[in-house]
Each structure stands twice: as C-alpha cells, then as structure tokens.
Amino acid sequence: MRVATWNVNSVAARLPRLRDWLAEVRPDVLCLQETKCAEEAFPTDEVAELGYEVAAWGEGRWNGVAILSRVGISDVSRGFPGQPAWAGEPEADPPALLELPPHREARAIAASCGPLRVWSVYVPNGRTPDSPHYAYKLEWLAALRDALAEEVDAGGPLVVAGDFNVAPTDADVWDPQVFVGSTHVTDAERQALAELAALGLTDVPARALKHGTPFTYWDYRAGRFHKNEGMRIDLVYANGAAAELVQDAYVDREARKGKAPSDHAPVVVDLAL
C-alpha cells in the first residue's frame, strides 16, 4: 500500500501536475494540504477519473486539507475535538478573514482507507515567535496530540501525515544559523513534535533522491530549490502497527521541478499492507 502526502499550495493551480503525478506514482492514499478551495469546489470528478474517492475540507482561499483514496474512504472526520479557533491577526491576515468570527480552520481531516487510518494535517505556520499565530500553533499542536492519543492506542495501523511547519532537528534545515530567532525551529515547536511522538508515533525517515538531504520544502525566492536550501517540514508519523510495515519512503524531489510547481515536494511511503 502506497501512502503519500503533499502540500500542493492550491489544488486548482496545481491540478494538471496533480493528475499527472497521480497517474505516474499511483499512491493508494494521498494526503493533501493547502488546497485553497471550498469542499464543493474540489476537483472531485477530475481525480475520480483516475480511480480516487475524495474526502475534503476547505474554506476557499485559505488552508484546506483532503484525502484521496483508491482503496475506499469511510469514517471521515473534519477537524478534531478541542481544535482551537483562530480569530485572525490584524497586522497579518487579510480583511476578509478578519471579518469572520473565530473559527476552526480547515487544517485536519481523517478517514479510514482500507485497513489504514489516515490523518492529513496542515499545522499553522506560526509566523514569528512573538506573533499570536505562534501561540495558536502551539495550542493547535497540543490539541492534536490529545485528539490522536485515543487513535494511536486503538491498535490498528495509523498514519498522520502532512505539513507540520516544524523542522524536527537542525539537520532538517539547510543552515541552522539562518533560522535563529525564526519559527519552525524553536524549542517549543520541536517539543510539541516530541510529545506527538511520545504517544507512540514514529517519524518515518524518507530517503532523498538527490543531495542526500530529504528536504521537502524550498522557498520560491532566491533560487533556494536549485541551491538545495530547503527544510524538512512535511512529515509522516506512523504508529507501531504501521511503522513495522514500512518498506520504503522517499521525497519525490522531481515533483518540485518544472513550470509552476508547489513549493513543497511529496513524501511517499510504501507499506506492506
């Protein structure tokens, strides 16, 4: 069983690339983040032509998560108990978002796909350590940990995949000195990931196809991709029942190339299911 995760940075903008990639790589399950479309606007018919069912949760121009499956989708949940609401930040969020009441953003969706329980998550960015969004990020991760505790203990194979917006160690960024004072690398964020792992989840190591560094994200600016100045922030966590079935895992760096790519590359994991 092949499971993948990909922050597509707009499913509408990336639809031709997404369809081509699905046809080539043929994951059984694909977790998507930052779809940037409402649920009813998701291109369900276009991916159904390739054999995929869809469970999506979106809010238009922001955020958005989905799960695509060729092995069935059931028991779908959007969001999770205790997920904090976001009221917006006047200095950073667009006026249209600030006009909304505090709401649970479309950042997590879960489903059962054949024998596997799958979560697709898009963790808040955090912006800067002194931003309200950073406190929201830590609160969100703590609530996710609590929500996952029961599922991890359920015993069946479980995968939690997505854009965590945290580099677990200094080895997961191209130059730790560049990120001093920034989000994604702070002790508190890394501790939040460690607490997720402490539930009984394993960070599945993915191999790099080039350079020996399995980065998954490269900023569009300053030629970061071509210089391999990236970060590993797209992660796949597996509980014990799933981790022992991992046969291979890799970062599909090729998908980051070409015209109008996402700034993230997919992570692909093969399980003996």
DSSP 269: E
The CATH number covering residue 18 comes to 3.60.10.10
Domain that holds residue 205: 2-271
Distance CA 55, CA 23 (A): 19
Number of DSSP helices (H) and strands (E) in the chain, helices first: 6, 12
Q: List Cβ neighbours of 263 (8 Å cut-off, separation of 6 or more).
A: 7, 9, 217, 218, 219, 220, 256
Q: pLDDT band at 41, cuts 50/70/90?
A: very high
Q: What is the mean pLDDT of residues 110-120?
A: 98
The pLDDT of residue 60 is 87
User: What pTM, to 2 d.p., does this model score?
Assistant: 0.97
Mean pLDDT on 99-121: 96
- Give the angle subtended at the CA of 11 by the CAs of 10 and 13, to the nearest 5°: 65
Q: What is the mean pLDDT of the chain?
A: 97
Strands 53-57 and 65-69: antiparallel
- CB atoms near residue 170 (< 10 Å): 12
pLDDT at 154 over 90: no
Q: Is 62 helix (H, G, I), strand (E, B) or coil?
A: coil
Looking at the predicted structure, is the pLDDT value of residue 91 above 90? no
What is the reported pLDDT for 200?
Answer: 97
End-to-end CA distance of the chain: 5
pLDDT tens-digit series, residues 202-244: 999 999 999 999 999 999 999 999 999 999 999 999 999 999 9
What sign for the dihedral angle of Cα 24, 26, 32, 36?
positive
Number of domain units in the chain: 1
| Contact status, residue 138 vs residue 177, Cβ threshold 8 Å | no
Tell me the one-letter amino acid at 138: L
